Amino acid sequence: MNNTVVALLSIFVISSAAHAQTNISNQTSRNAPDTLTHSDTLTASHDTLQQKVDTFSLKFSDSEIKSPINYQAEDSIVYDLETRKMYLYNKADLKYDKITLAADSVEFDWNTYTLAAGGRKNDSTGEISGKPVFSESGKEYNAGRMAYNFKTKKGKIFDVVTQEGEAYIHSEAVKRNEFEEWYSLRAKYTTCNLDHPHFYFQAKKVKVVPNKVLVTGPANLVVGDVPTPIFIPFGIFPAKQGRRSGLIIPKPGRDNSYGFFLREGGFFWAVNDYFNLKFTGDVFTNGTFGVNVGSEYRVNYKANGNIGFTYYRTQPADADLPGSKASNAFSVQWNHTQDPKSIPNSNFSVNLNAQSSDFYSASRVTDSRLLQTQFNSGASFSRVFPGTPVSLSLNFNHAQNLLNKSVSIQFPVFRINVSRVTPFRRKISTGKPKWYENIGIQYSFETKAVLNTYDSLFFKKEAFTKSLKYGINQNFTVDAPITIFKYFNFNPSFSYQERWFFQKENKHWNPDTVYIPNETTGKIDTFNGRLLSDTSLGFYGVRDFAVSASLATKLTGTFNFKGKWVKGIQHIFTPLVSFTYKPDFGSALWNYYTSVQNDAKGDIVRYSPYEITNPLGYGIPSQGQTGQITFQLKNNFSVKAYSKKDTVKHVQYLGILERFNISGGYNFLADSLRLQPFLFEGNSRILDNLSLNFRFVFDPYATDSNNRKINTFYYQKTGQLLRFAMANFALNATFQGKPKGNAAAATPPPPRGVSNYVSLNPDEYYDFNIPWTVRIAYNFDITRGTISNPDTVITTQSLQVNGDFNLTPNWKFAVNTGFDFMRKLPSLTNLSVIRNLHCWELSFNWTAFPVEVQQFVIELKVKSSVLQDLKLTRRRTFLQNGF
């Protein structure tokens, strides 16, 4: 480092000449110390004179350094020519190449090429301020005092705290060699970011290779300054940024049916920055076990996702029961998202969730997933063509019902869509557009295959030969919206639908007597004739069309008051009336319907051979003419109130009934039941945290003894205008306390990705800054009429409550429960107690109800440093395979 010394000496001489008068006065007013000590106390007054050497460059030979050196101090800079030392006092700062040093005082010795830095000790409090902060190549080190040799590139730091990834290393003394490796004496390794950490591994010697690895000798785990009996003969800790491989500590607990257990223990392998693997397992004392393999991947600017597979081998809770045997269950999950930058104007995503019907019960899930009766999967690819109205998509959909074990698969679903175009609009518009320029055309083409079967038959041939349905559907629409009489929007339209089916069902009556053994009763059932059907394959075109028109407008009215706070009520009224005409597609002209004998008595029924294609969702043309008028009355009510925020008009509008709609219809070409049911629906946000949704259906027609509607008005039968059919209420409320003090302001902002995830998934975290939170969801459904009794009223209710509150600033109690009104018992109930230990998290989780899934889990683990800063605790449930 002779080059460095020559450069510094040159700067020293030139700076001395340039600042001779100032430096002499400084020298006479203080004696430069021979050495820099940790408890250096400076008595000089804190003047505002700042000595600073600007960056400059001298011409040296190629062997000399050319990097500029900057140094400054807020108080003074002292040059001692006799001892060849330089002193920087009060907020000293030095920058050289990739090295930055900030401290209260800095001493540079030209004889040994050594730089020393330290802080200032307060005589009254004993606290040291201005401790050295040394940074090299973006790596920062905080120390009590330090020394560094520019020639050998070696250094020694005392009372230093360094950070490697999410870990912090506290050392009494650290030596640095020329290879930038660190050797620490009496070091503490921890992930707690406090000056006095809550836990750490205590080791006598530690070696750190920055951004690679940290190696220790024998180490002892210390918690709360109390040594534990946990020792390790040596430690190897990864020091690189990002994810790191390591063991996953299992969660202990007890299940009411399966016994004691250890869950989610295993190993995490960070293969690289773009791919990792997680292997975990669950073990119960009754012999039940489960294994899980999960992976997360990312390809920059291409795609990212995760995939997981779980297998469970479940032993019966009571092996002595007759017929008890072990069972197998599995689950496969795959989530994939394409980066929009990879293939512009296209998107590809996968959300796969396939599992055996008994997986949730076998794996002892204790959250709301246990109540699920159906889950869905899907994959989709879409592409738009810029500059054209054309887009296409390809989809795969999968649905599985856990109650009846049915499976529905849609693949492929290929769709081409042409968005609305106006072919008659002029390219250069001048003056008022003509009416025909508003004519728009839309077109869509779709082909689909659907398989509906059961999981036990899924891999059998007959599932595909008998249950597979496929077809093609096309839709063509022409409309011409215009404004008439200035305030009315009139929109006539014509729609055409073309279906291409490749199967149809032919039914016929077989009068022969048939004897069929009944496997359930052991008897023989006798049938005097049967309705049989067979499937014909071919090409069948089925089409229909409709003509419609709609008229809408909007009216706004305000009822003003003279009150100070409530100034009026605003009402926005949007009426809409529409008319639709369809011819009778059930006539012989179209040949879409036929008749067949239905029973031995000779009853004749009409059916469509194309009803077999209903799973496709394309529908079939309707029987009878349609000349239907429908109406919809949309209403919005809001309060006009005083506002301090509006400094001009001092007015704000508060929604009291955000939506209240009334709708109905009348088909004057129908042969019966011309009036449609009347629908009343709406929603109101009473407060910012309280919302109400409601829906009522009233029918103008009476019903028979089997609860089927008859062509008799309800008024004629009972004297009442409308018959109540059903109603639904949904009430949702969220209440929470305000953060105490300046907790929100004191919390540092989290990384953007973490902040977005937390805001989108608030139910997955406990926030200790919020003293209490209560969420209530109540649903009430009432339906009138059953097949056996049209006057029977059926009500269903559900109540779900979850909340948490702080017992102390670091203790929180949480509950998630509900009430089953039919069984008059609590629904799935989970109770939790959480202790926030800053860098640790202690939790006790108890699934209290139902009794058959009762279990508890105790967990103590280190938290992520990000969650420490946010004061958040992650809510984890069994079998959550996210990373």
Per-domain residue ranges for the chain?
2-246, 247-372, 687-874
Taken in order 469, 470, 476, 481, the sign of the CA dihedral is positive
pLDDT at residue 441 greater than cutoff 60: yes
Count other C-beta atoms under 10 Å from residue 857's C-beta. Answer: 22
State the pLDDT confidence band at 491, using cuts at 50, 70 and 90.
very high
Q: What is the pLDDT of residues 248-307, one digit of tens each?
A: 878 888 887 888 888 888 998 888 888 999 999 999 998 999 999 999 999 988 999 999
The DSSP code sequence of 236-255 is: EEE-SSS---EEEPPEEEEE
Predicted pLDDT at 483: 92
* Token pair listed for 376: 């869905």
Q: Kindly compute the dihedral angle of the four CA atoms of residues 156, 157, 161, 165, in this order, to the nearest 10 degrees.
A: -20
pLDDT at residue 40 greater than cutoff 70: no
> What does the radius of gyration of the chain's CA atoms come to, in whole angstroms?
39
Rank 245-249, 446-450, 805-809 by mean pLDDT and report only the highest. 446-450
What phi and psi values does residue 722 have, to the nearest 5 degrees? Answer: -130, 150
Rank 330-334, 431-435, 475-479 by mean pLDDT and report only the highest. 475-479
What phi and psi values does residue 185 have, to the nearest 5 degrees? Answer: -115, 130
Contact predicate 97/137, CB 8 Å = no
State the pLDDT confidence band at 241, using cuts at 50, 70 and 90.
low
* Token pair listed for 871: 């004061």
Residue recorded with tokens 């219809």? 665
Contact predicate 257/321, CB 8 Å = no
302-325 mean pLDDT: 85
How long, in residues, is the chain? 883
870-878 mean pLDDT: 46
Q: Quote the DSSP letter at residue 32.
A: P
> Of 609, 631, 629, 630, whose CA–CA distance to 620 is shortest?
609
CA-CA distances (angstroms) from residue 226 to 206, 258, 842?
A: 21, 36, 18
State the pLDDT confidence band at 402, using cuts at 50, 70 and 90.
confident
Contact predicate 328/353, CB 8 Å = no
* Token pair listed for 839: 């860098």
pLDDT at residue 634 greater than cutoff 50: yes
* Angle between helical axes of 2-18 and 20-29 (0-180°, round to 10): 90
State the pLDDT confidence band at 739, using cuts at 50, 70 and 90.
confident
Residues 868-881, buried b or exposed e (16+ Cβ, 10 A)? bebbbbebbebbeb
Predicted pLDDT at 348: 93
Which three-class secondary structure state does DSSP give residue 471? Answer: strand
Which three-class secondary structure state does DSSP give residue 762? Answer: helix
Contact predicate 287/315, CB 8 Å = yes
- Maximum C-alpha span of the chain: 129
CA dist., res. 306 & res. 881, Å (int): 9
Q: What is the pLDDT of residues 787-815, one digit of tens each?
A: 778 888 899 998 999 999 998 888 889 99
CA dist., res. 758 & res. 606, Å (int): 57
Q: Is the peptide bond before 615 cis (omega within 30 degrees of 0)?
A: no
In the chain, what is the straight-line distance between the N-terminal and C-terminal CA atoms, in Å? 48
Q: Which helix (H) or strand (E) holds 18?
A: helix 2-18
pLDDT at residue 366 greater than cutoff 80: no
CA dist., res. 827 & res. 805, Å (int): 21
State the pLDDT confidence band at 11, using cuts at 50, 70 and 90.
very low
CA dist., res. 667 & res. 676, Å (int): 8
Predicted pLDDT at 581: 97
CA dist., res. 9 & res. 99, Å (int): 18
Contact predicate 839/196, CB 8 Å = no
> Of 238, 233, 205, whose CA–CA distance to 220 is shortest?
233
Looking at 698-806, list the stretches that DSSP marks H as alpha helix, in order from N- to C-terminal side.
Answer: 714-718, 743-746, 752-760
What phi and psi values does residue 321 have, to the nearest 5 degrees? Answer: -70, 140
Predicted pLDDT at 28: 33
Residues 767-782, buried b or exposed e (16+ Cβ, 10 A)? bbbbbebbbbebebeb
- Of residues 526 and 485, the one with the higher pLDDT is 485
Predicted pLDDT at 281: 93
Contact predicate 543/496, CB 8 Å = yes
751-770 mean pLDDT: 55
* Token pair listed for 48: 């505002």
110-131 mean pLDDT: 80
CA atoms within a 13 Å half-sphere pointing along the CA-CB vector of 30: 20
Predicted pLDDT at 36: 37
Taken in order 646, 648, 650, 655, the sign of the CA dihedral is negative
CA-CA distances (angstroms) from residue 453 to 113, 398, 630?
A: 83, 12, 38
Contact predicate 883/279, CB 8 Å = no
CA dist., res. 725 & res. 114, Å (int): 91
Q: Which residues pair with 713 in a beta bridge?
A: 701
pLDDT at residue 566 greater than cutoff 60: yes
Which three-class secondary structure state does DSSP give residue 506? Answer: strand
Predicted pLDDT at 9: 40
Non-local CB neighbours of 169 within 8 Å, separated by 6+ positions: 161, 162, 163, 184, 187, 188, 189, 206, 208, 214
> Of 84, 80, 122, 81, whose CA–CA distance to 104 is shortest?
122
pLDDT at residue 22 greater than cutoff 50: no
> Of 397, 396, 394, whose CA–CA distance to 375 is shortest?
397
CA dist., res. 643 & res. 568, Å (int): 13
* Token pair listed for 38: 């940790």
342-350 mean pLDDT: 92
CA dist., res. 608 & res. 598, Å (int): 14
CA dist., res. 73 & res. 108, Å (int): 13
Percent of the chain with pLDDT over 70: 83
Predicted pLDDT at 278: 92
> Of 367, 209, 188, whose CA–CA distance to 839 is shortest?
188
Give this prediction's pTM.
Answer: 0.68
Q: Which CATH class is domain 2-246?
A: mainly beta
382-396 mean pLDDT: 95
Contact predicate 621/612, CB 8 Å = no
Contact predicate 416/444, CB 8 Å = yes
pLDDT at residue 757 greater than cutoff 80: no
pLDDT at residue 635 greater than cutoff 80: yes
645-669 mean pLDDT: 83
Side chain identity, residue 643: S
Q: Is the peptide bond before 481 cis (omega within 30 degrees of 0)?
A: no
